[in-house]
Amino acid sequence: MTYRRAVIPALVGGLLITLLLWWAGASAQALRLPGSTSVFDIQSVSELRRWLAPWSYDPPATLLPERPAGTGADTAFGGGTQYADLYSTAMQIRFVAVFVFFLAGALLLVRRIPPTQGRTPGTLLALWAWGPVAGTLAVAVSAPWLIASWGHGSYRVLPQLAGVIASSGPVTVFAALLTAPLTVLVARVTAKGADPLPRQSVPPRAARLAASAGTAVVAVSLVILSYDSVAAWIQTSFGGGGLLSEPGDLLRQWLLLGGWAGPANSPLGDWLLYRAADVLMLAVVWWTLRLLPGLLTRTTVPAMAAGAVCATVLGLLASQVLRMATDDTSGIWGPVHLFSNLGYGVPAALTFGITAGLAALVTLRLAEGRDSDSDSDKTPG
């Protein structure tokens, strides 16, 4: 699909997910009304407030102090107004950034995985997975302004940055779930009349090797780095000074896809059930990477990297849904709590998804070249 045809659905998707996130943030004020607890229980209201807070355009009450009476009122009020202005600037950057990041990713995905020739399910899933990635990147870009608006930006900057990046939450997952179908529908309309783009013929052996190489990269984070003792070492072993002290929290966000330990403190059956979610994630990543080269119109570096990121996010969401199905705490914390971890780990999925895409592409090229050499050797001279 040409850029001219792909830019229309990408624009529609970018505008829609931005409006949905803005609407979700604006709805946070409704949860502060006295009647909100009559619709949801107290735990669910608190959880929903936490979900919507990163996208709420209204500054927190702590940034809007009342004008005090007497001497010094203007100075105090002016300081609060400046912090509120910084918060507004952070949210403006956040919403512009989520539009730009989703637009860029959707443009690449729709162009390389157009919803034609049996690719529609793949396009739909890729766009859904890209939504949380765009939200995470937007939150990360706007984080410095948000931290400065709290009035203590010079204190433990990196842990604060890690906390902000991890706060995009399940809202982006649900917003992307609504955005992806409409984007695909518009893409199918704009694709009418275009030249047919048949699926590529990829040697099965090469596709399997590429998928295995990419999955092995993801498994490094999920199996090795996410082990409790290794994760603790990552958290505590990297020191620093001044503004860049305590980088462990930030490293955890961008390197760890999960967390696990041995079955010493839990029954073996429960431990195996919990680990089944990790197995499911790796299976989804492998299968998606196995199909990805055949879905792409061209196996370029950006397309493979973006596709592998989407594959990793899809595997992450699949594992989280399985854990939700086995979670029995809804009676204690409320039904909303079941979705609280949905979308967690997207920064690490971005880090290792890009690396997995590059590893899969290199392996694919090498395997295809080896298969071509084997076929030429078998050809009679």
DSSP states along 120-174: HHHHHHHHHHHHHHHHHHHHHHHHHHHHHHTT-TTSSHHHHHHHHHTT-HHHHHH
Q: Of the given ranges (32-46, 208-222, 248-262, 324-338), which has the lowest mean pLDDT?
A: 32-46
Strand partners, 227: 260
pLDDT of residue 179: 97
For residue 120, pLDDT beyond 60 = yes
Residue at token pair 């997995």: 356
Highest mean pLDDT among 1-5, 202-206, 215-219: 215-219
Average pLDDT over residues 360-366: 94
Residue 31 has pLDDT above 80, yes or no: no
Question: What is the pLDDT, as a whole number, of residue 68?
Answer: 43
Average pLDDT over residues 299-327: 93
Tell whether the model's pLDDT for residue 159 goes beyond 90.
no
pTM: 0.89
- Is the pLDDT score of 241 beyond 70? no
Please give the pLDDT value at position 153.
60
Dihedral sign from CA coordinates of 34, 36, 41, 42 = negative
Helix-strand-coil split of the chain, %, nearest 5: 75, 0, 25
What is the pLDDT at residue 304? 96
Amino acid 364: pLDDT: 93
**Could you tell me which of 233, 217, 216, 222 has the C-alpha nearest to residue 259?**
222
The DSSP output letter for 223 is: I
Buried b (16+ CB within 10 A) or exposed e, 262-272: eeeeeeeeebe
Out of 88-92, 257-261, 311-315, 329-333, pick the least confident.
329-333
**Considering the chain, what is the average pLDDT of its residues?**
85
